[in-house]
Chain A
Amino acid sequence: MVFIFGAQKKFGITLLISAALFVIVGIIKVFPSASHQGYAPEQPIPFSHKRHVAEQKIPCLYCHSEAEKSRHAGVPALNVCMNCHSVVKVDSPYIQKLKKAFSEGKPIEWVRVHELPDHVYFSHKRHLAKGVACETCHGNVQAMVQIEQKEAMTMGWCMECHRGQTTPQYVLKNIYPKQKAPHGPVAPVSCNTCHN
């Protein structure tokens, strides 16, 4: 106390002001940025999920084929695109771009939309195995012309579902098939379920 209000009064005040600033700036800056809800960057090729999913009825797993086998869903390799686009819509300038990249062996660099921090472990495989549908987390992708992050994808958002608070009914039914109005926790909430 003597230290703050004594000879070095100025220092104490500086300290208090700095601390206050730190807290305010922290609250404003850090918290809103934890989520990237609504993030829909421009992509090198304006790939439309609406066209592919809603109109052409291509199942999600045709392209994101690793979602059932691995923690990653995977973005398809160019040869998967070329399965169709070697004959479909070959005149489009974007397909030309795709074709050029394929023949040159240069991958297309997509801008990442859904991204969890490096200290988070998330497995697509386990969620699919429990019957969680893609759109539960990724939103109504089949209506998106430009892919967008629909959900908050913050830790709280994950936890609410794991605890059974926001879990969709169809998932709850899978887990509690005998209950009439299924409710209850659906997944572990231990820290190391997702963090290690």
Chain B
Amino acid sequence: MDHHQQNEEPQKNDELKGFVPPRHWIGPEELDASYWQNPQVQEKRGQEFFEKPLEWMDQKLKSDQTGLARREFLTLMGASIAMASLSCTRRPVHKIIPYVVKPEQMTLGVPSWYASTCQECSTGCGVLVKTREGRPIKLEGNPDHPLNQGALCARGQASVLNLYDLDRLKAPVIRSRKEHTQNEVSWSEVDANLVKQFKGLASGLGRVRVLTSGIRSESTQRLIDDFLNSFRDGKRVDFEPLALTEIAESQELSYGNALTPLYRFDQANLILSLGADFLGNWVSPVEHAQAWSKRRKLQGQKPAQAQLSKLICFEPTLTLTGSNADERYPVRPGDELKIALGLAHLLILKQKRSVELANDPFVISLLSQYPLERVALELGLDHGLSEGGSLLFRIAVDLWNNRGKSLVVSGSLPSKTQDSLALQVITNLLNSVLGNEGSTVDGMLGYTPSHSRFAEFSQLIQEMKDGKVDALILYRTNPLYSLAGAFPGLAEIFQKVPLIISVSDRVDETGLVSDYVLPDHHYLENWGDSNPRKKVYSLQQPTIAPIHSTRAFQDSLLVWMKQGQFKQSTMVSNAGDWHEYLKNHWKETYYKEAGSSGSFEQFWEATLRAGVLNLASSQGNLGALPGSRSFKTDSLKKLMISGGLNSKDVSLALYAKISMYDGRSANNPWLQEMPDPISTVTWDNYLNISPALAKTLGVKGDDVVELRAGEVKAELPVYIQPGLHSQVVSVALGYGRQSVGKIGNQAGINVFPFIQSKGQHLVFSGQPVQIRKTGKFYKLAATQWHGATENRPIINDIILSQYRKNPSAEKHTDPHLRLEAVPSIWPAHEYKSYRWGMAIDLNSCTGCGACVIACQAENNVPVVGREQVRVSRQMHWLRIDRYYSGSPAHPDVVFQPMLCQHCENAPCETVCPVLATVHDDEGLNVQIYNRCVGTRYCQNNCPYKVRRFNFFDHWKSYEGTMSLAWNPDVTVRTRGIMEKCTFCVQRIRDAKDKAKDAGEKVKDGQFKTACQQTCPTEAIVFGDMNDPNSRVFRLKESPQAFRVLEVLNAKPSISYMTKVRNKGD
């Protein structure tokens, strides 16, 4: 590549005149010709290695001015001699420590799998837990679970590491409020103290409150209620700050039942999202992504008649959903409601699509204020005016043309203004008018509401303020971190409660103001269940004995009730422990509901093995159409719609990252180092500013600015985000934890204080903010440019009409990318048996990053830390590259999973001086760690930049319990060697081993690579390309397939499917 650059040097000026900006760009600066002229950029392009080994050290040792290189060389030399003479003089003594009594069902070296339920968030997806020698090491989605159907999100994948978190609380502690000290105590001491206090409370006023966060377990709820019945005034409040409770509330207003309905993205031809990030963090994202992707696959369709569903998105900040939309329009928080109202105005009042609704006085009085033309004008959405009318008019017509087959969804956190409830109600109205209610919106089979209303929570706070709470038990909730801003003086309010018990896995921000912090089991150590959706019951079972002296919250409740001899329900007196209580609950309820013919024990065993009881499937779940509900127009009367935004204000949109969510797992290094799919930034949050606003404010990326909303302020680094409305800035929640552990403390800035409590709701977005430059800088650890292809086209994307006319990728591929037939000087490889290959569908990849974390968990990929990511030394074998196309104000986005391409003519293989990377007879490009001497020539020569070098012994940072998370089937790499994707060679070997036992060949689909297994949209397909019936072969041969940088003639084993957008020319 260097020669290539140098040859171009003399022509540069001519080139500049006819500068053609790249079609796909990584950052908006690439669109400017001067960027490519910038000496720094040129230097980077010209340098042999992207990262220099000594650059980082040089910075560290800047004070040492002279002779550094020489001295270093001698030091290293001396060290080598010392090492060579010291090593291997004596064989180290290793011990074999066998079991005393080996568990019968266990075979050393062979994994055992258990079905359970993921509790990382309250969605309740099913997981299969892979355990080796009694340690859970990997989670995979349970294919039989109706929610996630085998897939799992990034956070679910990472939740196994929380089990081994070094900062978990190892025993209960009693804290002193005065001295702010804490003492580790035994459980018996805790029980003795607490039972005495509970006894006192039971005979007194007994104002005991239990605050939980998003529990979807009926059995746990029942047990808490049993406990609270011992007191005269006991009450359970469930509140999750980030939960979208307004959906269920609006359903109750509109249709009379408070649940979140089932949205059937697989049934919709046209989806209109008004700020609903259903592919990222909205209701049940894995399930939604799966359903949505079913209508995004072109395989199996005749190209000329190919059909795709269409996704149109209006949103304040660029989310995963917006990135995957066919049409996306940036708006300000609160504008979504006006769009919804305008569309309803046109459909109901103007076009009289529903005579009944058009004559309804409530409808008329509300909608008449929002004619579509005025809304379009006000929001600046009247651009693109054509014969057919404005953009919004066209969308309304499309929605109506697809009535019964369209779907309107709305409201994630960036759209959660004070009008969030109104937005949901109008969304319901639109779905009713369009006949989607009962078709793509299933109100019969919805998600069980787990959350109390905000009103109940604020009432609890009021009670605490008035000194009307005697004891507060917090179960896995941390309001002092997340709600301290919404309720000013929350810490003081907590001081008014005489007894605070926090049941958590660490002394978090709320633990710091508690009297007792009782460590709970990790969910992989505990029994439990979840009722995520109507008629779906998911079981959770322990897969490892508790690592520390922890105890299940449920067991604590039972112990207290029994020791305190409180009046007990028969459920409690019949149960010796939580496991029995759970079983009895199932026997009383779901066993009966299932009407199982066998005994309860048989039923229990079977359900435990399956992990889930799906009673909805027998009733035609996702098959037959549910009955439609009629819209109650009086719900419109109750709506309070606030005035619009001041047109000059810049407003704030808070959002939850796909990795960090509300910050509950901020101490998880995998999640901290997971590049955000949109910004690619790791380890920090930042203020997203549109290029236009940045210009107005005179700020650049990595400038630190002060963000201010009224009294609240925060200093944040700037990230220039294309596709943002010029009057919107956005920041992610979940960062800046104070008391979560070594890894998560102080990572990023806490922006929860910007949340406001207004009326009956929490307001996350829409606050007017001021931004001021501070003159400081902070380098964000973004992986954005690390694998840059320097303007060489690597993406192939077209629109649907082009695809219909000519589906062949070859015809659409950039001419610079096409490979002319060239004679090869290499002998061709022979693949006698298998030939492994992969196909990746850019059309259904949502960029969610689940594969990145799955790969990390499977392949012992280390975490390197913020400072190392800054110098592009992250170790991820699989990364998600994000490219924009179009204008920076209004870009299209495409995600491309990038991993070792296992090229046939691999450029890395030819440059390795020690043959540490070679081609094998099954098409794999294998990296041999014990041969590698670390020249890094291969990394330099790899056109895809997928090879990772170990600059340090990263495994050393996996101390104590953390080392239990390693996968024993994959070598843990040491310093000085190169590594990269192996196509999960250990899984290939395992599959071949099983096939050999059966005396046959590995069948297509018999095993999956870690990335493929967890992908919610089945965008990754792996298999044997020598088998003409395999899925991967058919995909590879399909006209949609192309290979990256084909012109280099590296012949990758991975084929990508062209991205096809369903939009107009």
**Chain A residues in contact with chain B, CB under 8 A?**
11, 14-15, 18, 21-22, 25-26, 29-30, 33-34, 36, 39, 41, 66, 69-72, 74-80, 101-102, 105-112, 115, 117-119, 121, 123, 125-126, 129, 188, 190-192, 195-196
Contact = CB atoms under 8 A, between A and B. Distances in A.
B993 interface: yes
Given A78-B98, A110-B98, A126-B996, 4 more contacts: A29-B89, A66-B108, A78-B100, A192-B928
B814 to A, nearest CB: 35
A115 B98 contact: no
Contacts of A192: 920, 924, 926, 928, 982, 985
A110 B96 contact: yes
A149 to B, nearest CB: 10
A56 B924 CA distance: 48
Contact of A30 (B84, B93, B921, B969): B84
Contact of A109 (B70, B95, B930): B95
Contacts of B926: 190-192, 195-196
23 contacts: A11-B70, A15-B77, A21-B81, A22-B77, A26-B84, A70-B108, A78-B100, A79-B102, A105-B100, A109-B95, A109-B97, A110-B97, A110-B98, A112-B94, A119-B930, A121-B969, A121-B986, A121-B989, A191-B920, A191-B926, A195-B926, A195-B928, A196-B969
A79 B96 contact: no
Contacts of A41: 93
Contact of B99 (A25, A77, A118): A77
Contact of B930 (A79, A117, A123): A117
B109 A66 contact: yes
Nearest to A130: B996
B928 A22 contact: no
Contacts of A29: 84-85, 87-89
A80 B99 CA distance: 10
Nearest to A124: B109
Contacts of B100: 77-79, 101-102, 105-107
B91 interface: yes
A190 B921 contact: yes
Contacts of B920: 190-192
Given A70-B108, A117-B930, A196 B98 contact: no
A33 B81 contact: no
Contacts of A75: 96, 98
A119 B955 CA distance: 14
Contacts of A123: 993
A196 B88 contact: no
B993 A126 contact: yes
Interface residues of B, number: 47
B997 A129 contact: yes
Contacts of A11: 70
B85 A25 contact: yes
* B87, B95, B100, B110 — most chain A CB neighbours (10 Å): B100
B107 interface: yes
Contacts of B930: 117, 119, 195
Interface string B57-93: 0000000000000100010011011001101110101
A53 B101 CA distance: 23
Interface in B738-783: none
Contacts of A21: 81
Contacts of B989: 121, 196
B99 to A, nearest CB: 4
A196 B970 contact: yes
Contact of A78 (B88, B91, B101, B972): B101
A75 B970 CA distance: 22
Contacts of A101: 100
B1022 to A, nearest CB: 16
Contact of B929 (A34, A111, A119, A190): A119
Given A25-B81, A119-B929, A126-B993, A79 B88 contact: no
Interface in B988-1041: 989, 993, 996-997
Interface string B906-924: 0000000000001011101
A112 B993 contact: no
A185 B929 CA distance: 25
Contacts of B931: 191
B305 interface: no
Top 4 A-B residue pairs of the complex, sorted by shortest distance between their CB atoms? A33-B88, A70-B109, A77-B99, A77-B102
Contact of B95 (A34, A102, A111, A118): A111
Interface of B: 70, 74, 77-78, 80-81, 84-85, 87-89, 91, 93-102, 107-110, 918, 920-922, 924, 926, 928-931, 969-972, 982, 985-986, 989, 993, 996-997
Nearest to B918: A191
A13 B74 CA distance: 13
A30 B96 contact: no
Contacts of A79: 99-102
Contact of B971 (A33, A77, A115, A119): A119
B81 A39 contact: no
B99 A107 contact: yes
Contacts of B921: 188, 190
Contacts of B986: 121, 196
B833 to A, nearest CB: 10
A107 B107 contact: no
B77 A18 contact: yes
Contacts of A30: 84, 87-88
A52 to B, nearest CB: 16
A71 to B, nearest CB: 5
B725 to A, nearest CB: 48
Nearest to A39: B91
Contacts of B110: 69-70
Nearest to B106: A66
A107 B97 CA distance: 6
A11 B67 CA distance: 13
Nearest to A44: B95
B90 to A, nearest CB: 9
A133 B1015 CA distance: 43
Given A78-B101, A129-B996, A196-B986, A115 B94 contact: yes
A12 to B, nearest CB: 12
B977 to A, nearest CB: 10
A41 B93 CA distance: 9
Given A21-B81, A25-B81, A78 B99 contact: yes
A125 B996 CA distance: 11
Nearest to A33: B88
B971 A112 contact: no
A85 to B, nearest CB: 14
A121 B100 CA distance: 26
A138 to B, nearest CB: 15
B589 to A, nearest CB: 40
A93 to B, nearest CB: 20
Contacts of A78: 98-101
Contacts of A109: 95-97
Contact of A76 (B78, B93, B98, B107): B98
Contacts of B101: 77-79
A15 B80 CA distance: 13
Nearest to B77: A18
Contacts of B94: 111-112, 115
A79 to B, nearest CB: 4
A76 to B, nearest CB: 6
Nearest to A106: B100
A78 B96 CA distance: 12
Contacts of B81: 18, 21-22, 25
A129 to B, nearest CB: 7
A34 B88 CA distance: 8
A125 B107 CA distance: 12
A14 B70 CA distance: 12
Contacts of A129: 996-997
Nearest to A114: B96
A102 B80 CA distance: 47
A33 B86 CA distance: 12
